Structure 1
Amino acid sequence: MAYNPGMELDMGWVNGAVVDLPAVNRRAATLLTKRTVKKSWQAAWLLRAVTCIDLTTLSGDDTVTNVQRLCFKACNPIRQDLLDAMGMGDYGITVGAVCVYSARVKDAVQSLKQAGGAAIPIASVATGFPAGQVPFETRLKEISMAIGLGATEIDIVISRDLALSGDWGKVYEEIKACKAACGENVHLKTILGTGDLGTLTNVYKASLVAMMAGSDFIKTSTGKEGVNATMPVGLTMVRAIREYFHKTGFKVGFKPAGGIRTAKDSCAWLALMKEELGDEWMRADLFRIGASSLLTDIERQLYHFVTGRYAAAHQLPM
């Protein structure tokens, strides 16, 4: 995964950001209606989407068994007979990472070792996920705890109250402190909580500030807001990533999360990355999809591609 060292906060750049909402909506609509892939190309795109999934369980009733099941599926996301039929059986396809609460990181480390997927990254949500309404010192301690247990990626949430009040300097300082807590070997993914930010201009500004503070990825949402990953929000964020890259030369990844449940959705998000940022941003080191149920639909579509019929639910267990 690319490492973003960040830069000094440039308030002139942040304050100068303006988003044209009608233009964004028009552009986003083309990605959902005019950009499609079919047949073998669609199967290839779906396999690529699998490798970019952060397979997630973030429920109040998570148990050791849930995490074991998640990790086994992360190592074996698509049935072997389907991969063999597509000529992909020897490619070692896995998901991009597993994502769990910090209290379940130790379980994930052990489960991935048992399942033969020790190389799969473990992402842990931290900093008072999903609301972030805990003291900042506690948030930093949670980051350190998750890393100590074996997390290799940390997903933090910004203080939305600071963003809504326009205190971008404080947002920058908090993210920068989280980056320092991660060090250079653990990647930082910053969740903007876009459904709470009110306007696309705020989304763009939050994206810039997060990248300036050193975020290696910017992520749309926690999946717990009323509105999560939408195409206009995604377009706004990837345009910010593109501008940041052009001005600094540093590559930052993108992660939509929340509400992405179908194979068709995953292809639309891949199309966004291809058209706005290029092929390099269609790989797991710069693109992730936060999802729990998406993988089931992708496997179902691949089953149809191979066999010509749709599988019953029990044939593709999660």
Structure 2
Amino acid sequence: MYSAFCNLGWISRVQVNHPAVLRRAEQIQTRRTVKKDWQAAWLLKAVTCIDLTTLSGDDTESNIHRLCFKAKNPIRLDLLEKLHMDDAGITTGAVCVYSARVKDTVKALKQSGCNIPVASVATGFPAGQTPVKTRLEEIKLAVEDGAAEIDIVISRNLALTGQWEALYQEIRLCRETCGHAHMKTILGTGELGSLTNVYKASLVAMMAGSDFIKTSTGKESVNATYPVALVMVRAIRDFYWKTGIKAHVNTRTEALLFRIGASTLLGDIERQIYHHVSGRYAAYHDLPMA
């Protein structure tokens, strides 16, 4: 059940200590990573958190079909067999497309016998500079076509001008229009101006009922960074402590959190798995395209 309140007093009191966040982010990056079999296990887990995405003007039914096949078979079968993971049912977390391609994606996944959820970007992605009525209609059509997850973008101007109640009301309307579909709210953190705004926008999005909060569309000049991810995770923690409600974070940075929007990461993971199994790095033609 989604949240239904807006605590403007909490939001108005927030101030993020920028230097402290930067120091903590640097510390996180210097920590030792897992190695060998543990690394392979975590990489396979990361695959299941990826939203395999195509958001191009030249998307067609055929490349949607290819993407869905890759979502169902993200890692080459012979590599999984050598890791004794060929029967683990590893797939990506979702397939993400424009709303106009939802029907094609649902059809392709159904034909493959796979129940991976379809996610659709909506609400004037990526800029969010369309009228609210149009944005809500786009959500409605995507859900009707079979999207199980909706990725909305916020009006960054509302955050930049401190109109937090207006932002809450807008996201709330989107949540209600999503109905049974999960709603992932993209903050566009590279365009929010400060880490304080990132924290406040995270809180507002969760207060309005977002199931996930996402860092960025991938179209901004600056997308996810370690400091941004750290601030968002702490906002999730603080929101949980105050309400008992757990949101999730979807980030385009390293495989750190719960759902990963960076589709290019899948190719990097498969190459690392290939190296773990064979002792050498794969050539471009050794791995199937998404």
TM class, shorter-length: over 0.9
Q: Cα distance, 1:236 vs. partner?
A: 0.3
Distance in 2, matches of 1:181 and 1:313, equals 43
1:182 and 2:178 are equivalent in the alignment: yes
Letter in 1 for 2:190: G
* Unmatched tracts of structure 1, length 5 or more: 274-286
* Equivalence map 1:108-119=2 (5 Å): 108-117=105-114, 119=115
SS across alignment from 1:233 = helix
SS across alignment from 2:97 = strand
Spell out, residue by residue over 1:101-146, the C-alpha distance to the aligned partner (whole angstroms, 9 max, x if none). 00000010011112221x1011000000000111100000000000
Match of 1:232 among 227, 230, 244: 227
SS across alignment from 2:147 = coil
For 1:95, the equivalent position in structure 2 comes to 92
Q: Cα distance, 1:7 vs. partner?
A: 3.0
Distance in 2, matches of 1:78 and 1:292, equals 13
For 2:65, the equivalent position in structure 1 comes to 68
* Equivalence map 1:9-28=2 (5 Å): 9-28=6-25
Letter in 2 for 1:317: P
Distance in 1, matches of 2:147 and 2:32, equals 36
Letter in 2 for 1:214: G
Moved segments of 4+, more than 6 Å: none
The range that moved more, 91-100 or 107-116, is 107-116
Distance in 1, matches of 2:244 and 2:198, equals 21
SS across alignment from 2:5 = coil
1:120 and 2:116 are equivalent in the alignment: yes
- Normalising to structure 1: TM-score of the pair? 0.89
Task: Give the conservation status (yes or no) of the 8 Å contact 1:71–1:112.
Answer: yes
For 2:264, the equivalent position in structure 1 comes to 293
1:208 and 2:208 are equivalent in the alignment: no
Distance in 1, matches of 2:234 and 2:217, equals 21
Distance in 2, matches of 1:113 and 1:81, equals 25
Letter in 2 for 1:98: V
* Equivalence map 1:8-87=2 (5 Å): 8-87=5-84
Distance in 1, matches of 2:223 and 2:63, equals 24
* Equivalence map 1:250-269=2 (5 Å): 250-257=245-252, 260=253, 265-266=254-255, 269=256
1:167 and 2:138 are equivalent in the alignment: no
**Percent identity, aligned pairs only?**
66
Spell out, residue by residue over 1:74-97, the C-alpha distance to the aligned partner (whole angstroms, 9 max, x if none). 000001111110011111000000
Letter in 1 for 2:259: R
Task: Give the conservation status (yes or no) of the 8 Å contact 1:163–1:206.
Answer: yes
Q: Cα distance, 1:311 vs. partner?
A: 1.1
Distance in 1, matches of 2:184 and 2:221, equals 21
Task: Give the conservation status (yes or no) of the 8 Å contact 1:220–1:256.
Answer: yes
Letter in 1 for 2:26: A
Match of 2:282 among 311, 315, 318: 311
Let me know the Cα RMSD of the aligned residues.
0.9
For 1:192, the equivalent position in structure 2 comes to 187
SS across alignment from 2:28 = helix
Q: Cα distance, 1:302 vs. partner?
A: 0.3
Task: Give the conservation status (yes or no) of the 8 Å contact 1:75–1:116.
Answer: no
Distance in 1, matches of 2:152 and 2:134, equals 12
For 2:273, the equivalent position in structure 1 comes to 302
